[in-house]
Amino acid sequence: MDRKEEFFNRVAREYRSTIYTVCFMYATDQDEAADLMQEVLIELWQSIDSLAEVRNPRSWIYRLALNVCISQDRRRRRHHTVPLTMDIDPYDEPDPNSQQMELLRRRISRLPMFDRAIVLLWLENMSYDEIATIVGISVKNVSVRLVRIREQLKQMSDN
């Protein structure tokens, strides 16, 4: 294994839960999540050289994963995705944490694509500055969006 492959393996494993969380939020079932995960890994491999020069790898990984999930044309899904190595299925798990996450995912999935990205980054404790840079809008726009998103989520939860 050469140095590039080693670096890719390390990054993919280190950020696996972050990447999976993004895929989980944009997919509707575990197969689709696996499909998106594979696409993110392909993009990661193709861009891995530029990661070495990045100051904030977490932010970079989020941007890459979100870009893949938002841009992926679902009609062109791959059909030979390698299954994920997980003994849980967060979409269909009886434990309370998974069920709450699934509920949250369903509420977030009703938001427009960019708003989904904003709320996800915000839930991951990212600053408004970081969110603005990843999404490509102003900090003020992020804060206004988040107020609206929170209202929408509250309405969904009340209903």
Partner 1 sequence: MENNELETLRQQVAEFKSRLDKQEIVSDRMLREAMLSRTKWMIDANRFALPLSLLVIGLMIYYYYSMHLMPLWILILFIVVFLIEIASNLLNAQLIRPDIIATHNLVKVRRELTKFRRREKLYLMINLPLIALTIILWAWQRPDLFQAWVAILIGFLIGTLIGFFIFWREMRSINETLRQIDEYENAL
- The answer to whether residue 52 forms part of the interface with partner 1 (CB under 8 A) is no
Angle (deg, nearest 10), helices 128-135 and 57-71: 40
What is the CA 52 to chain-centroid distance, rounded?
21
Q: Which of 22, 27, 37, 111 binds partner 1 (CB under 8 A)?
A: 37
Contact call for residue 20 and partner 1 (CB under 8 A): yes
Question: Which amino acid is located at 32 in the chain?
Answer: E
* Residue 70 near partner 1 by CB under 8 A: yes
Residue 17 found at the interface with partner 1 (CB under 8 A): yes
In angstroms, the CA 26 to CA 72 distance is 10
The footprint of partner 1 on this chain (CB under 8 A) covers a number of residues equal to 62
Which of 39, 51, 46 is closest to 11 using CA atoms? 51
Smallest gap, in angstroms, from Cβ of residue 102 to partner 1? 10
- The answer to the question of residue 123 lying near partner 1 (CB under 8 A) is yes
- Spatial distance between the Cα atoms of 40 and 72, rounded to a whole number of angstroms: 10
Q: In whole angstroms, what is the distance from residue 134 CA to residue 39 CA?
A: 19
Distance CA 50, CA 40 (A): 15
Give least dist CB 55 to partner 1, A.
14
State the DSSP code for 54: -
Using the rule CB under 8 A, which residue among 7, 31, 58, 104 binds partner 1? 104
- Which chain residues interact with partner 1 by CB under 8 A? 5, 8-9, 12-13, 16-18, 20-21, 37-38, 41-47, 50-51, 60, 63-64, 66-68, 70-71, 76, 82, 84-88, 90, 97-98, 100-101, 104, 112-114, 117, 123-125, 133-137, 140-141, 144, 150-151, 153-154, 157
